[in-house]
Amino acid sequence: MNLSNYPQSQKKLQTRKEGDTIALFLVWLETKGYAICAPTAGMMDMPYHLPLHKPINEWLADYFEIDLDKLEQERIEILNMLAEGKE
């Protein structure tokens, strides 16, 4: 199947190996009790950091610039095309 009509799917497929490595690292961080945090302004302009709670697939999509909504639309189109017996 030619994925050139499905750029988000193509990008996800091309970044899979690197994405798997990053995902393993993110899981490792979590198992060690570490969190990815973002700075925010606190009281009296004292900065502090808040943990960012985001599923791994969203971290990867952000990193690889994959639009998850478009990716889902492409997935549905591909599945419909396969169900109709087209390629």
Q: 68 lies in a domain?
A: yes
Averaged pLDDT, 18-42: 94
Angle of CA points 82, 84, 85, to nearest 5°: 65
Q: 2 lies in a domain?
A: no
| Residues 46/87, Cβ–Cβ less than 8 Å | no
What is the model's pLDDT at position 41? 80
Q: 62 lies in a domain?
A: yes
Averaged pLDDT, 18-29: 98
pLDDT value at 49 more than 70: yes
Query: What is the distance between the terminal CA atoms of the chain, rounded to a whole angstrom?
Result: 6
Q: Which domain holds residue 39?
A: 7-83
- The values of phi and psi at residue 38, to 5°, are -125, 140
List, for residues 58-69, the tens digit of each pLDDT value: 999 999 999 999
Q: 26 lies in a domain?
A: yes
Strand partners, 51: 37
Q: 27 lies in a domain?
A: yes
Considering the chain, what percentage of its residues have pLDDT values greater than 90? 78
State the amino acid at position 28 in one-letter form.
W
Report if pTM > 0.85: no
